[in-house]
A and B are shown apart, each in its own frame.
Chain A
Amino acid sequence: MNTKRKTSDMLVATAQPATTTDGVSLQVSGLKLSLGGKNILRDISFSLREHGINILIGPSGAGKSTLLRCLNQLHADWQGEMLIMNHHARQWPGGTDALRHQMGLIAQKPAVFPCSIEKNVTFGLSSRERKHPPAGLIERVLRQAVLWDEVKDRLHESAAILSIGQQQRLCIARALALSPSMLLLDEPTASLDPRSKQLIEASLSQLAETMPLLCVTHDIEQAQRLGGQIIFMCDGRIIEIASADTFFTRPERLEAREFLRWSTCDCS
């Protein structure tokens, strides 16, 4: 990890106009969003490499969920520059729905559909693929989400009977079934039992070898376990981007130090 440590001001100053960049899956520069007349995202610039874990961290209300929703285009009226796999998000071939396939979004509260586990996995596919899923797809994505062993004998049962932790992993599998080029996870393990937390972390570490993950978390210990690049957000801005080692031992910015101190206090 060389010098990813920049202040937001420097990031803005160095924000490039949209150009092709190798090895970068997502490049956001000068992203702004206001909701209900309030500026929620003020000037977001960062990029994600083609694989690896990126932890989005920051106090409550910083705009982390909103940022993920912008990337998935659930908030469509953002301003700025968003390059996904070297395509402009607004001119994505196949339109917004096709783009959303690429940006698998895992919400904080798992929302499984009231149908069977199997149908949940294939829910996002085209109707033809839903009827005849590609061979091995269901098993592969359920294995990637570390859920296969628990559900392999009851794929036709309702997904609603799964535990919350299992449902969250099902949601990950559902997003993976669309072969996304990255995963956006909004506090995926908040309010989950330790066991599910552990399984999801294992799954994320594996997945990060093939695609970039952008994972929001409140849990500093989890962030330390997962490692990777830390993106620290506060009040609609990115304050600091650093490797996990650097961020947790020598945070550069005052806000980050404050955040770490208070969060550590909270934990104990």
Chain B
Amino acid sequence: MLNLWMRASVFITLVVVILMLGFLVSQSWPYWWQYGIGMLFAGEWYPYERLFGMAPAIIGSFWAAVVALIIAIPTGIAAAVMSTELMSGPWRGLLRGGMELLAGIPSVVYGLLGLWVLLPFLQSSLNLLTGHNLLAAGLLLSVMVLPTIMVMAQDALHEVHINQREAALSLGIDWNTRLWRVLLPQAWPGIRSGILLALGRALGETMAVMLVVGSMDRIPDPWYNLLAPAQTLTSRIGREIGEATFGSIHFAALMACGLLLAVATIAISLLAQEKRGQFTFFPGEAGSRKK
């Protein structure tokens, strides 16, 4: 009976995912058919002139996620190491509770905080015309994905077996070496899952990003310029979906943005769920992780 339920729920999940992708494909079909896949690399997006180049938003999404991860990965792992390895009980609980609180805050609240606090700060300290830019989006996202990375890294560190810790300790290996050669490598599969989940969240986050990114469809110039107003796939959909008539080519183009996001996040979460232990820190020794 239980087995039947499990099979049914797996089946339903698969059907929902396939239906969703099918819907996105069918709705964006006119766009792909008219403009072709080359639009992924085109730089102009002017709906009134019927130009629908995807590149600015793709690059924007990429940069926002990269900035977020560059900050959140070291911070989250460091926080996890602090709390599992160095802090005593109550402090550990406090840190974890704080992280769970951060994870529970609605994203629009982050967006508003970003508007009121982060943007003026960026504008004045970097002397910009406006604080709306990819850096702001990335900074905001880094706070939002931090709990994911930290909590997953914490769980992964907890799973490193006490025998392994004591074996390293009893050999007289110092703390740094234990951290880099025992704890982190053995926790890596779990940490990696956390990073991928965080990446998925960073790519998919809409509200907070939309409020701070500036929503200008321009390819960053030069390519690493994070300080000008820009656009992400999510913020574009969020801004424009209300203005696009259902069935129009503009609508189809926005659906195409949605399809890109869906494919990217599904791929990322599949990677994250990939069986632990298949990845290893030690090249040529795959599958060597021991229980």
Residues of chain A whose beta carbon lies under 8 Å from any beta carbon of chain B: 72, 74, 96-101, 105, 107, 109, 111-116, 119, 123-124, 127, 156-161, 171, 174-175, 178
The residues of A that contact B173 with a CB separation of less than 8 Å are: 97, 123-124
- Please report the C-alpha to C-alpha distance between residue A99 and residue B171 in the assembled complex, in whole angstroms: 9
* Structural contact, B161 and A100, CB atoms closer than 8 A: no
Chain A CB within 8 A of B130 CB: no
Distance of B121 from chain A, by nearest CB (Å): 42
Q: A107-B163, A111-B167, A123-B173 are in contact. List 5 more A-B contacts (CB 8 A).
A: A99-B172, A105-B170, A113-B168, A116-B285, A124-B171
The residues of A that contact B174 with a CB separation of less than 8 Å are: 97
* Structural contact, A111 and B161, CB atoms closer than 8 A: yes
Closest to A114 in B: B288
Residue of B163, B172, B181, B287 touching A178 (CB-CB under 8 A): B172
Q: A109-B163, A158-B288, A160-B290 are in contact. Are A115 and B282 (CB under 8 A)?
A: yes
- Please report the C-alpha to C-alpha distance between residue A123 and residue B181 in the assembled complex, in whole angstroms: 9
* Structural contact, B167 and A127, CB atoms closer than 8 A: no
Residue of A99, A111, A114, A127 touching B177 (CB-CB under 8 A): A127
Residue of A74, A115, A127, A159 touching B170 (CB-CB under 8 A): A74
Q: A74-B166, A127-B177 are in contact. Are A114 and B171 (CB under 8 A)?
A: no
Closest 6 CB pairs of A and B: A100-B172, A124-B171, A158-B288, A111-B167, A111-B163, A97-B172
Q: A127-B177, A160-B288 are in contact. Are A113 and B164 (CB under 8 A)?
A: yes
* Structural contact, A178 and B171, CB atoms closer than 8 A: yes
The residues of B that contact A123 with a CB separation of less than 8 Å are: 168, 171, 173, 181
Closest to B174 in A: A97
The residues of B that contact A107 with a CB separation of less than 8 Å are: 163, 166-167, 170
* Structural contact, A111 and B166, CB atoms closer than 8 A: yes
* Structural contact, B285 and A114, CB atoms closer than 8 A: yes
* Structural contact, B166 and A101, CB atoms closer than 8 A: no
Distance of B43 from chain A, by nearest CB (Å): 47
Q: A97-B172, A124-B173 are in contact. Are A115 and B285 (CB under 8 A)?
A: yes
Chain A CB within 8 A of B222 CB: no
- Please report the C-alpha to C-alpha distance between residue A260 and residue B29 in the assembled complex, in whole angstroms: 84
* Structural contact, A124 and B172, CB atoms closer than 8 A: yes
* Structural contact, A98 and B172, CB atoms closer than 8 A: yes
* Structural contact, B171 and A174, CB atoms closer than 8 A: yes
Residue of B170, B181, B282 touching A116 (CB-CB under 8 A): B282
The residues of A that contact B181 with a CB separation of less than 8 Å are: 113, 123
Interface string of B150-182 (1 = CB under 8 A from A): 000000000001011011111111100100011
Chain A CB within 8 A of B142 CB: no
Closest to B182 in A: A113
- Please report the C-alpha to C-alpha distance between residue A127 and residue B177 in the assembled complex, in whole angstroms: 9
